Amino acid sequence: MKLQDDLKNTDQLLQLTKDFSSEFLSGIDHVAADKAVTLSVEKNIPVQGLGGAAALELFKQRYGSSIAAAVGPRYWGFVTGGVTPASLMGDWITSTIDLNASDKSSAAYYIETETIALLKQLFRLPEDFIGAFVSGATMSNFTGLALGRQWLGKQRGIDIGRDGMAGLQNLTVVSCTPHSSVSKSMAMLGLGRNNIVKLPSLPNRESVNIAALRDYLDAHADQPVIFSASAGTVNTVDFDDLAALAVLKKEYNFWLHIDAAFGGFAACSDRYKHLLEGWEFADSITIDAHKWLNVPYDAAMIFSRHPELHVEVFQNAGAAYLGDPAEQFNYINYIPENSRRQRALPAWFSLMAYGLDGYREIVETNVQLAQELGALLDNDPQFTLLSPVRMCVVCFTLNVPSDIQEEAVNKFLNALNATGVVCMTRTVYGGQPGIRAALVNWRTAQEDVAVAYQTMKEVAAATLNQYSYA
């Protein structure tokens, strides 16, 4: 039987896996940052099975040439960090020991508890915040908004977690520049994505106009709401004025959820921590680990100041084998998932390996490089910055007439990503078609900015030549 053969040869299989991984990572600078692939998908499971070694060979033949360098230094598409060497160690061990992070009969619970404590120090969050790992920023936003929904119901005398939402109306989420996962979470929570109220921003910003929020709260004084704040928008890394929101919370009755998926890492740096002043008064906070923490997918954290609401929403009521939530703490009663991978361990390894100074250096280096790229583009007549470079995202467009801008931007971006040198994503900012480059990878260095910019200049010139604007 193939399984028994693999058991006898486990060491050899692990060595083959290590060899593949080492070869990939050692050549990461020469792997395309983006690849457009079309593959035929095999839908028939083998009857006898191939065994692990043959399966690896088949994987390399079928998919090896189609793997992009998403962990490489010039993947600037989604706001995705790379994988630090120590977090890779933690991730391999996580798969090896395969612990259920919700099982208190092993070290898993204590690993997560310790890692959350380390993260609260990294983010300078108060000790009384509860935290837990979830699969990503979407699930973290979902959890924070679920807590907010429970709070909304209790303001009206209804326990939504217990009795549902029947009869409740006007359950509103207010925001300025919410991430798409906020409206997605609202749809999943029964709040309805159309029930998000978008308030105006400050001029040429993605930060909420506090005066407009105050006016809204005054006009809805009898209606408790959730305000979903941004601490790092995806286009420009703009921050709502969290200190002003903290002041408003003392005057008005609203739930403050902060989406700080990657902006929360401003706390790592004395240069940028002021952007988060006041976030300690939030009711719930989203932070994504597989962004600037540079650990593997999928890992994020939810932090909140309301452990009792967690239990009201997420408790496993009536499951005798899981224990009584009122008698003993267990993460399964505080987040959506019961069975969970030990997501904390890669983060624990990386935090222990590189410490506060290591993450400060990652954040400050990425910001410096983004600002250098922004300066290059700002001084290049082929490009126009759509926003100042506030932290790690450069938002820009081609300097062409508006009637051809969308077509030109699409052509430029497709051609740029096709070079494999760098990967960026399309966006729209201020009504203009644009491009965003997100630098959150620990590998990214000055030479990466130089080679990317040189490629951008060449592709832009070729694109503009098509319109006689070179």
Which pLDDT belongs to residue 380?
98
Taking only the tens place, the pLDDT of each residue in 327-368 is 788 899 999 999 899 999 999 999 999 999 999 999 999 999
User: Rounded CA gap, 378 and 388, in Å?
Assistant: 10
For residue 407, pLDDT over 90 is answered with: yes
Which pLDDT belongs to residue 105?
75
DSSP state of 235: T
| Secondary structure class of 421 (helix, strand, coil) | coil
Which pLDDT belongs to residue 328?
80
DSSP state of 60: H
Report the share of the chain in percent with pLDDT over 70.
99
| Three-state SS letters, 242-298 | HHHHHHHHHHCCEEEEEECCCHHHHHHCCCCHHHHCCHHHCCEEEEECCCCCCCCCC
Q: Are 286 and 261 in contact (CB under 8 A)?
A: yes
* Closest C-alpha to 131, from 116, 152, 146: 116
Question: What is the arithmetic mean of pLDDT over 376-399?
Answer: 98
Separation in Å, CA 239 to CA 186, 198, 313, 340, 381: 22, 15, 29, 32, 29
Domain ranges of the chain: 20-97+355-470, 100-341
* Closest C-alpha to 85, from 295, 372, 376, 392: 295
**Cα 83 → chain centroid:** 14
Mention the CATH class of domain 20-97+355-470: alpha beta
The strand ranges marked E within 289-362 are 300-304
* Closest C-alpha to 413, from 400, 399, 427, 401: 427
41 confidence band (pLDDT: 50, 70, 90): confident
Taking only the tens place, the pLDDT of each residue in 113-144 is 999 999 999 999 999 999 999 999 999 999 99
Q: Which residue has the higher pLDDT, 165 or 198?
A: 198
Which pLDDT belongs to residue 44?
87
Taking only the tens place, the pLDDT of each residue in 259-295 is 999 999 999 999 999 999 999 999 999 999 999 999 9
User: Rounded CA gap, 87 and 84, in Å?
Assistant: 5
**Cα 431 → chain centroid:** 24
Residue 249: what residue type? K
Which pLDDT belongs to residue 311?
95
Q: Which residues of 386-412 are buried (b: 16+ CB within 10 A; e: fewer)?
A: bbebbbbbbbbbbbbeeeebbebbebb
Q: Which residue has the higher pLDDT, 95 or 40?
A: 95
Which pLDDT belongs to residue 61?
94
Taking only the tens place, the pLDDT of each residue in 168-216 is 777 889 899 999 999 999 899 999 999 999 999 999 999 999 999 999 9
Mean pLDDT of the chain: 94
Which pLDDT belongs to residue 284?
98
What is 100-341's CATH number?
A: 3.40.640.10
321 confidence band (pLDDT: 50, 70, 90): low
Q: Are 349 and 85 in contact (CB under 8 A)?
A: no
Which pLDDT belongs to residue 40?
84
User: Rounded CA gap, 85 and 351, in Å?
Assistant: 11
User: Rounded CA gap, 90 and 256, in Å?
Assistant: 33
Which pLDDT belongs to residue 253?
92
For residue 470, pLDDT over 90 is answered with: no
DSSP string, 117-177: HHHHHHTT--TT-EEEEESSHHHHHHHHHHHHHHHHHHHTT--HHHH-STT-----EEESS
Q: CA torsion 132→136→137→142, rounded to 10°?
A: -70
Tell me the β-bridge partners of 239.
231
User: Rounded CA gap, 408 and 374, in Å?
Assistant: 20
320 confidence band (pLDDT: 50, 70, 90): low
Cβ neighbours of residue 406 closer than 8 Å, sequence gap 6 or more: 433
469 confidence band (pLDDT: 50, 70, 90): low
Question: What is the arithmetic mean of pLDDT over 419-448?
Answer: 97
**Cα 35 → chain centroid:** 22
